[in-house]
Amino acid sequence: MKKNNVTKQTMPYLILLMVILGTLVFYNMGQTKINKINYDKLISELSKDTVESIEVTPKSNAGVYYITGKLEGYGKNEEFRVNVPLSEAVLDKILSYADNNEFEVKTNTNPENSSLVTILVNVVPFVLLIGATFFLFTRISGGNKNSMDFGKSRAKLSEDGGRVRFTDVAGLNEEKEEVAELIDFLKNPKKFQKLGARIPKGVLLVGPPGTGKTLLAKAVAGEANVPFYYISGSDFVELFVGIGASRVRDMFKQAKQSAPCLIFIDEIDAVGRQRGTGLGGGHDEREQTLNQLLTEMDGFGANEGIIIIAATNRPDVLDPALLRPGRFDRQVTVSLPDQKEREAILKVHARDKIFDNDVNLENISKRTPGFSGADLENLLNESALLAVRRNKKAITMDEIDEATDRVLMGPAKTSRKITDKEKKLVSLHEAGHAVIGLKLEDANEVHKITIIPRGMAGGYTMMLPKEEKISIATKSELLASITGLLGGRVSEELYFGEISTGASDDFSRATRIARSMVTEYGMSDLGPVQLEHKSEGVFLGRDYTNNTRNFSDTVALEIDQEVRKIVNDCYKKATKILKDNEKLVKLLSDTLIEKETLTKEEIDELVNTGKLSAKKEETEESVEIKETKEIKEEKIKKTKTKEKKETEK
């Protein structure tokens, strides 16, 4: 397949090379060496009988005879040329030599014949070459007629906005209300102008990836009865300086002709980054594009009736001039959905899927905090793929549970061979996490424990908040999180008699929380002072040389001591809890070795009764065996009936 693609890509160039070489060869073959002589020289050669042939063409407009011919010793592509006065006497004299010397004489009666041949020989090959070059490069560029229109806008116009409507966007009620106001203004501007209100010129949609920013913009396009232009921020930036600015001008020029209208710019951070940043200076092309965008949005010229909607997940890198009032007047934060919004999103993506009766979307929404809309769509899609793979007629909770684990941790590595020692170690480690979650008051609720390897983890304990709330955590909740993370190592040390590398990720997360408590949240003996701040990534030119360490070496030592103190206190607390609940740790560990996975209901049953009730549930294998037996019995029954009928006949 790749070989065929390479051949298709290189073929036009090979054809073009052959055309050029053929034209050059043809042109060189048609070239003739011309030796210019005068009339006396011609008469002298005629007297010597060295002329082999001549061709006479009258040029009445120039008053001369145009004579060409060959002399003895000339090559194949060599001839002489002479102009003689347009006189019958001169022509008769030349023809008399021809009669005596018997050489070939050709007389052209059409004076334009020679010129036409000259044009055909010298001009037509170049015309063909230019035409072939244009045709081939048009094919190479994919037949794009606008391949040379570098400065033209790449924004695409959608008259009807597509098929997405607000009903297709689950949740985001406040966000939909904000953007719906723009549509209302475009439809009925007098309602706003009556009270002197000015509609925002630009709305910036900000939020994590997958929360529905682009989907919300599509819904705006679907609801609006005005032209809707959409473009990506990367479509403005080109290699050549000035192209991006030209495209911005052309986009607004088209928009003015269609006003009132909407323009949607996706991933605007590709072109809207701060100016003058970057090691070694800024990016001239991007900065010129941004300058033109700023001018078009709010400069000397007024763009009445044009509203811009842009989306980004990096508002911190945008230029301040882009975010000021008069340009992007309003920022709409599209955050991760809460439990009710997740349920509504699941209902939207479950429209075309078949679910078993035991599937409850409300329960799924409660078990997926922190999932974005894209994650939830992927969750249901993965569960549908698993159901097809297992030859089921409907999606059950088994597929949804497995899909949840796949989205969070990756596919299960069931083929990997695990030793008994490793299995016991992992089971004790995960049991330690679970017991801390079960016995510590402010810890998260344990929903699932498994020792089946997934991704880089040998097993994991799923712990979810007892009730969903906004992103505010108390000191006791943070300490409980650290204690829960350390529970795995403590359990290994107490009941396995040896420690392993399995707790490295737990230590990393616990240390990060403890350091944030000391340096950001003011939850230590150092007092309510912020010594460090979060940085999601280095923005070259702005953050590279920015010193986030606003403290002395003495304070740095105190920070380290406070972090160590928090972690050590939590470690001691985890040790006490696990020592007091030794039987529960070993019970969970032994059950995990036997069953490998425990659900919330099974964990609660173990905590309350100390054992699992023997439930006679049909496994998939037993159901399959049962179905096979029934099919065989049915076949035997049909065979006997058939034989009986044949016997009666």
Give pLDDT tens digits for 200-226: 788 899 988 888 888 888 888 778 777
Q: At which residue do the structure tokens 């090959």 appear?
A: 125
Q: What is the mean pLDDT of the chain?
A: 78
The share of the chain scoring above pLDDT 70, in percent, equals 75
Give pLDDT tens digits for 47-97: 777 777 777 777 766 667 777 777 777 777 778 777 777 777 777 777 777
Whole-angstrom Cα distance, residue 504 to residue 508? 6
* pLDDT computed for residue 486 by the predictor: 94
Query: Catalytic residue numbers?
Result: 430
* pLDDT computed for residue 54 by the predictor: 77
Average pLDDT over residues 13-17: 67
Whole-angstrom Cα distance, residue 582 to residue 267? 53
Q: Is 21 in a helix, a strand, or coil?
A: helix
- The pLDDT confidence band at residue 492, using thresholds 50, 70 and 90, is very high
Give pLDDT tens digits for 241-272: 667 788 888 888 888 887 778 888 888 888 88
Task: State CA 344 to chain mean position distance.
Answer: 26
Contact criterion met (CB below 8 Å) for 307 and 299: no
Whole-angstrom Cα distance, residue 215 to residue 218? 5
* pLDDT computed for residue 494 by the predictor: 92
* pLDDT computed for residue 62 by the predictor: 61
Residue 5 has pLDDT above 80, yes or no: no
Give pLDDT tens digits for 349-376: 888 899 988 888 888 888 888 888 889 9
**CA 259 vs CA 158, 263, 600: distances in Å:** 14, 11, 58
* pLDDT computed for residue 73 by the predictor: 73
* pLDDT computed for residue 147 by the predictor: 47
> DSSP string spanning 120-143?
HHHTHHHHHHHHHHHHHHHHHTTT
**Least confident piece of the model among 39-53, 167-181, 562-576:** 39-53
Q: Is 335 in a helix, a strand, or coil?
A: coil
Whole-angstrom Cα distance, residue 309 to residue 266? 8
Considering the entire predicted model, what is its pTM?
Answer: 0.66
* pLDDT computed for residue 483 by the predictor: 94
Residue 144 has pLDDT above 50, yes or no: no
**Least confident piece of the model among 413-417, 460-464, 558-562:** 413-417
* Token representation of residue 353: 């899927």
Contact criterion met (CB below 8 Å) for 368 and 404: yes
Residue 450 has pLDDT above 80, yes or no: yes
Give pLDDT tens digits for 319-328: 888 888 888 8
* pLDDT computed for residue 46 by the predictor: 77
- The pLDDT confidence band at residue 535, using thresholds 50, 70 and 90, is low
Residue 487 has pLDDT above 90, yes or no: yes
